[in-house]
Structure 1
Amino acid sequence: MSLTFLNFLVGTATLGLQICLLALVILYFFRQEKVERIIVKFALVSSFIFALIGMVMTLVYSEYFGIVPCGLCWLGRVFLYPQVVLFGMATYRKDFTIAIYSIVLSGIGLVIALYTHYLQMGGNGVLPCPASGVSDCARRYVFEYGYITLPLIGATLFVFLIVLMLFLLRARREESKLKV
């Protein structure tokens, strides 16, 4: 598979995920109880699968295609990779308490990803790129549909995880109200 074709596939998948995210956000604010129950039922396993795919894809880009991630991209990975293990354990144990931890990790990863995307779209950095001379934070390896970059793909994934965890938190909060 060529890098150009992979970029197209990943860009298209990201666009699809962004459309799903829009639907999820609308559903979050305009509650549909039946749909919400389905989302909550599959939130942990979906989060695990998407975080795992995100981790694998970052490794495919760096290890198979030889794209060296910049310092900020490495920081983004720091906040994604542990979530694969956490979601795996939470899915196995049906442990919804992961939600708050995932929101924090994803929130930090989101800020890093959005800043890196800003740099790749031509913005002037207020912080120095922590690259050690190997890879520039402003260099674009993926640019699909006129806006999708690798950092934006990460940002989309982080927002997806946050939204799913918000559904879990609300379900858990409502469940605890019913027990009282």
Structure 2
Amino acid sequence: MKQSAWTLVFGAWLVAAMSTLGALFLGEVMGFAPCVLCWYQRIFMFPLVFVLAVGLFPFDPRVTRYGLPLAIGGWLIAAWHVLLTAGIIPESATPCTKGVPCGLVQVEWFGFVTIPLLSLAAFTVINALLFATLKSNK
């Protein structure tokens, strides 16, 4: 086992765990209702916590086979959501027909950091770490 590969997967797990806890905190403690696209991103993020943890103990370099599809799918939805909240994609092109509108910005820190942007950043880091794991295993 390469120690660097384990460290990369652990870093990806840490980001996934922090993202999951952050999503739960924003929803359950702060009371922000998630939109449909937020739910889809959660569907991709939450299992990563368990999939990556199982791949760490004992370390299995094949964990990227299971983690990358989840991380890539989540990244695609998060990118779509960021483009939607930025006004680049029209609201009519989303699955949000009931409940919270997907284009609604509920939180905006520093004038530009939104919940979809945080999700995109988390999925980007996770993807980068998992791709680096693939490269270090070859």
Asked if TM exceeds 0.5, the reply is: yes
CA deviation digits over 1:58-99, x for unaligned, max 9?
011111111111001100111111100001111112111111
2:69 alignment partner in structure 1: 104
CA deviation digits over 1:102-152, x for unaligned, max 9?
222111111111111111112333764323522010011222233221111
Query: 2:98 and 2:91 mapped to 1: Cα distance?
Result: 18
The CA RMSD measured in Å over matched residues stands at 1.8
State the number of aligned residues: 137
Query: 1:124 and 1:158 mapped to 2: Cα distance?
Result: 20
1:160 alignment partner in structure 2: 125
- Where relative contact order (Cα < 8 A, 6+ residues apart) is larger, the structure is 2
1:69 alignment partner in structure 2: 34
Trace 1:1-180 onto structure 2 (pairs within 5 A).
Answer: 39-125=4-90, 128-173=93-138
Q: How far apart are residue 38 of structure 1 and its match?
A: 6.7
Residue 93 of structure 1 aligns to a residue whose secondary structure is coil
Q: Identity of aligned pairs, percent?
A: 23
The alpha-carbon distance between structure 1 residues 124 and 141, as it changes in their structure 2 partners (threshold 3 A), is same
Opposite residue 45 of structure 1, the aligned amino acid is: F
Tell which deviates more after alignment, 71-80 or 137-146.
137-146
User: Normalized against structure 2, the TM-score is what?
Assistant: 0.89
Query: 1:110 and 1:75 mapped to 2: Cα distance?
Result: 11
Structure 1 segments unaligned to the other structure (5+ residues): 1-36, 174-180
Opposite residue 15 of structure 2, the aligned amino acid is: F
Query: 1:161 and 1:38 mapped to 2: Cα distance?
Result: 18
Greater Cα radius of gyration, structure 1 or 2: 1
